[in-house]
Amino acid sequence: MKNQAFNPYLPSWEYIPDGEPHVFGDRVYVYGSHDAFGAPIFCVNDYVCWSAPVSDLSDWRCEGVIYRKRQDPGNPFGIRSLYAPDVTQGPDGRYYLYYAFDFLGEIGVAVCDTPAGQYTFYGKVHHKNGKVWGKKSGEQFPFDPGVLTDDDGRVWLYSGFAVKVPFPASRWHDLRNDGGVVMELESDMVTIRTEPRVLFPTKGKDGAFPHAFFEASSIRKVDGKYCFVYSSEHNHDLCWAMSDRPDGAFRYGGVLVDLGDLYLDGKTDEGHANNYLGNTHGGLLQIGSDWYIFYHRQTNRSSYARQACAEKLERTADGGFRQAEVTSCGLNGGPLRGEGRYEARIACNLWAKGHATGRVDGSAPHKRLAEHPYFTQSGKDREGNGDQYIANLRDGACAGFKYFDFRGCRGISADVRGEADGVLAVSLDPEGREEVCPIRVSVRGETQTAEAPCRIPDGVHALYFTFRGKGALDFLSFELKT
């Protein structure tokens, strides 16, 4: 690769949640929603696409805006927001973009001759009689489309949402929210061939789905089988289920990734997760024999500025997947180099004193949310390079980075600012038992570089920076010196 790859894998100023990765030709294309930093709601920006060569997942390129909210004839003033999309190459060779306008209760489709060109409005998913799906009382609520063009040319559309939406969908009619649904489309890509039916109920039957369906439908072929990825009732994990056919008999497989590394080693306490929790959404990517899960994290103490991340997956002997640990180096193909400068924004673990986290909607336990650290940026949305950093490190707060391959590290420096006096203690474990150096910090608003000598054993290690002292510290970056 030209460079190292980090999480989040896009530039610090970019906020792309719900990312669906697809390989078309020799490039990976990621289609997602588009949040705005500082926005009060989800997905206020138009769709953009990012792509990278399959041979270099560090080399991401912005393809620009591919579809605008106003292009849908039902949204001429751009009032409604474009939610999580998916793209497939149809039997005719063209590329079809499926999307939902927030909670309107319908699925729109746009089309383009190339994966990341200018998509044009094509139509709404509708029944054979021409009536748009979601406009009849009693129908399942259309939301979060996932689409697959199968090897035989048949087209399958997945959708679903688990929470009753009182407005605007049910303003005119009563829609159902019984779980994840599937339907086959005609070759025109918009007409429903087989009526939607529930595949994944919102409540697991007889324990068959211990993580019941919530939202975020995504579908891939894995070794000739059909792998459905979704966000569960817990809302901060992505789970998978497998079947021999696209329209039924799915068997629950487990968790692929969780924002706070819950369910690893039996840990389930949301208040002591490894990171702050919120919704997540993504899909599987295969490159050669390697598999990745794409997802998003929360920033800025809200659910409205989410960023794209990815982790490499390990397979099991029976053809399934093991849960991935959240890391700072997901697409790097291995640990980061144990030397050089790194931005604090690539931290994969973040918590307040006592390993207290919680959800970014304000339900963080033990302390008020104002006492918790968070990812944020200077300036407004897409202004400059974003200048992203970790804000509000208070006494006992910790930022963790995984993983680095150390070879002769002899010192660490940190760029910090704020109003604080104390020590930024660096350790190899989250509890601080393996402390390698204390970095003394004393700042009064201006950015300073503080440093200390240290000796880190050669090998692969995580790094944890814990602030102990008074005031609030902003953590911008650090440098590992050899």
CA angle 345, 348, 349 (to 5 degrees): 110
Amino acid found at 295 = Y
H or E element in which residue 418 lies: strand 411-427
> Sheet of 47-53: strands edge to edge?
20-24, 27-31, 47-53, 61-67
User: CA 150 to CA 333: how far, in whole Å?
Assistant: 29
Q: What's the burial of 67, exposed, middle or buried (CB within 10 Å: 0-12/13-18/19+)?
A: buried
Cite the active site residues: 18, 215
Which CATH superfamily, name and number, covers 20-334?
Answer: Glycosyl hydrolase domain; family 43 (2.115.10.20)
Pairing type for strands 340-343 and 411-427 reads unpaired
User: CA 251 to CA 14: how far, in whole Å?
Assistant: 36
Collect all residues with Cβ–Cβ distance below 8 Å to 433 and sequence separation of at least 6. Answer: 427
| CATH number listed for the domain at residues 338-481 | 2.60.120.260
**Token pair listed for 433:** 């038992």
Q: Taking a C-beta distance cutoff of 8 angstroms, is the pair 261, 269 a contact?
A: no
**Token pair listed for 150:** 């199968």
What pLDDT, on a 0 to 100 scale, did the predictor assign at position 4?
98
Which is nearest to 170 in space by CA: 199, 134, 203, 205? 134
Pairing type for strands 213-222 and 61-67 reads unpaired
Residues in the chain: 482
Which is nearest to 346 in space by CA: 371, 310, 315, 320? 310
What pLDDT, on a 0 to 100 scale, did the predictor assign at position 382?
85
For residue 61, the SS3 value is strand
User: CA 197 to CA 258: how far, in whole Å?
Assistant: 28
Which is nearest to 450 in space by CA: 479, 429, 482? 479
A 10 A CB-CB count for 276 gives 26
Collect all residues with Cβ–Cβ distance below 8 Å to 142 and sequence separation of at least 6. Answer: 100, 105, 106, 107, 125, 133, 134, 159
Per-residue pLDDT of the chain (482 residues; tens, 9 = 90+): 899 999 999 999 999 999 999 999 999 999 999 999 999 999 999 999 999 999 999 999 999 999 999 999 999 999 999 999 999 999 999 999 999 999 999 999 999 999 999 999 999 999 999 999 999 989 999 999 999 999 999 999 999 999 876 555 555 568 899 999 999 999 999 999 999 999 998 876 566 789 999 999 999 999 999 999 999 999 999 999 999 999 999 999 999 999 999 999 889 999 999 999 999 999 999 999 999 999 999 999 999 999 999 999 999 999 999 999 999 999 999 999 999 999 999 999 999 999 999 888 655 444 467 899 999 999 899 876 668 999 999 999 999 999 999 999 999 999 999 999 999 999 999 999 999 999 999 999 999 999 999 999 999 999 999 999 999 999 999 999 99
DSSP 191: B
Taking 3-state DSSP, the helix, strand and coil percentages for the chain, each rounded to the nearest 5, stand at 5, 50, 50
**Token pair listed for 426:** 């660096």
For residue 365, cis peptide bond before it (omega within 30 degrees of 0) = no
**Token pair listed for 340:** 């050089």
What pLDDT, on a 0 to 100 scale, did the predictor assign at position 173?
64
pTM: 0.96
Which value, in Å, is the radius of gyration of the alpha carbons in the chain?
Answer: 23
Which is nearest to 278 in space by CA: 286, 268, 270? 270
User: CA 411 to CA 409: how far, in whole Å?
Assistant: 6
User: CA 95 to CA 87: how far, in whole Å?
Assistant: 7
Q: Where are the domains of the chain?
A: 20-334, 338-481
- Concatenating the DSSP letter of every residue in 274-285 gives SS-B------EE
What pLDDT, on a 0 to 100 scale, did the predictor assign at position 165?
67
Q: Taking a C-beta distance cutoff of 8 angstroms, is the pair 293, 257 a contact?
A: yes
Which is nearest to 188 in space by CA: 84, 96, 72? 96
Phi and psi angles of residue 30, each rounded to the nearest 5 degrees, phi first:
-115, 120
A 10 A CB-CB count for 369 gives 17
Do the first three CATH levels of 20-334 and 338-481 match, i.e. the same topology? no
Residue 212 gets the label, from left (phi > 0), alpha (psi -120 to 50) or beta, of beta
What pLDDT, on a 0 to 100 scale, did the predictor assign at position 84?
98
Strand intervals (E) in 116-191:
120-124, 146-149, 155-161, 179-185
Which is nearest to 347 in space by CA: 399, 303, 299, 406? 399
Q: Taking a C-beta distance cutoff of 8 angstroms, is the pair 468, 354 a contact?
A: no
